[in-house]
Amino acid sequence: MKKPSALVLTGYGINCDYETEFALGNAGFEPKRIHINDIISGREDLDDYHLLSFPGGFSYGDDLGAGKALANKIQNAKIADKKFNQLLQKFIDSGKLIIGICNGFQIMVKLGLLPAFGEKYFVQDVTLTFNDSGRFEDRWINLKANPGSKCIFTRGIDKIDLPIRHGEGKFIVRDAITLQQLKENSQIVLQYADENCVPTMSYPQNPNGSIEGIAGICNASGRVFGLMPHPEAHTFFFNHPNWTRIREQHQRQGLKIPEEGAGLKVFKNAFGYAVENLV
């Protein structure tokens, strides 16, 4: 069986590319880290891949706001006689997958890849800005997945623990109508949750003050997904900070001790979709 391929973007301060490449490979993809300039120069062709990943990091040192500079670079780049944006539009229209994690999510919303109401891309309706705490937040959090979401990446996920590490993760919307559209279209995918897995606005469970506790959204098709937490950092069971306690609980209850981390399912879902629909 031919493996679906994944392009992991790198360059200019992206620094979670190796972990993302590893997670995609573990999920079954044939991943490849590619510098953004190799796409712009034409040395690499976006059309050759089935999934595009915008990994986490601090692109351009967060100058102009997290993700803004790299979003501008993509917005204004030309590849041969076409704009980079046109190639991204073609990539999406052909049914392929895009995931943006942390800084990648920031890039995507500032580029206008999300939420893309009415499949209208490259229009910014939401953003991610400075945490209410005024500081960099670095810890594990609880997340509740929206069962009504069409998101390919979160199929079969009800709740999940993932790490966050960001200074600009507060999700805000243009206006009340924008928030209502996100809700009506079921484009809210993940929300920060309390110990009972109920979405919350309370700190520290909500680490940044995101409206409605929003941690991740998708486009209407569910194939374009962005989130602030890091699924690539929870691909093994022992990545979880409480793994020894969880292991003990499983042993006492006679349950099988998992080998995989919960975050790997995000990438396995994408792999399953790609195998069924793209190769």
Total residue length of the chain:
279
Task: Please give the tally of structural domains in the chain.
Answer: 1
Residue 50 bears catalytic tag: no
Could you read off the pLDDT of 167-223 as tens digits, one per residue? Answer: 999 999 999 999 999 999 999 999 999 999 999 999 999 999 999 999 999 999 999
d(CA 207, CA 133): 8
Structural domain of residue 77, as residue ranges?
5-277
Give the contacts of 4 (CB within 8 A, at least 6 positions apart). Answer: 28, 29, 30, 50, 51, 271, 274, 275, 278, 279
154: CATH? 3.40.50.880
Average the pLDDT over 223-244 and give the result.
Answer: 98
Q: Output phi, psi for 179, to 5 deg.
A: -60, -40
pLDDT at 1 exceeding the cut of 80:
no
pLDDT tens, position by position, 100-113: 999 999 999 999 99
Annotated active-site residue in 19, 44, 102, 151 = 102
Q: In the structure, what pLDDT confidence band is assigned to residue 81 with cuts at 50, 70 and 90?
A: confident
Rounded-to-integer distance, Cα 169 and Cα 68, Å: 13
Burial of 107 (0-12, 13-18, 19+ CB in 10 A): buried
The predicted pLDDT at position 261 comes to 98
Q: pLDDT value at position 2?
A: 86
Encode 2-31 in three state secondary structure: CCCEEEEEECCCECCHHHHHHHHHHHCCEE
Q: What is the mean pLDDT of the chain?
A: 97
CB contact burial 1-19 (16+ within 10 A = b; e otherwise): eeebbbbbbbbbebebbeb
232 is catalytic: yes
Quickly list DSSP for 127-178. EEE--TTSS-EEEEEEEEE-TT---GGGTT-SEEEEEEEESS-EEEESSHHH
How far is 246 from 238, CA to CA, in rounded Å?
10
Please pick, among 151, 166, 232, 234, the residue that the annotation labels catalytic: 232
Contact 141, 192 (CB under 8 A): yes
Q: Angle 168-12-94 (CA atoms, 0-180°, nearest 5)? A: 85
H helix or E strand, kind and range, residue 273: helix 264-277
DSSP annotation string for 76-120: H-EETTEEHHHHHHHHHHTT-EEEEETHHHHHHHHHT-SS-GGG-
pLDDT digits (tens, 9 = 90+) for 88-103: 999 999 999 999 999 9
The one catalytic residue in 166, 230, 234, 240 is 230
| Phi, psi (degrees; rounded to nearest 5) at 195 | -65, -15
Q: Is 276 a catalytic residue?
A: no
Round to the nearest angstrom and report the end-to-end CA distance of the chain.
Answer: 9
CA pair distance 267, 24, nearest whole angstrom: 6
Percent of the chain with pLDDT over 90: 97
* Chain-centroid distance, C-alpha 54: 8
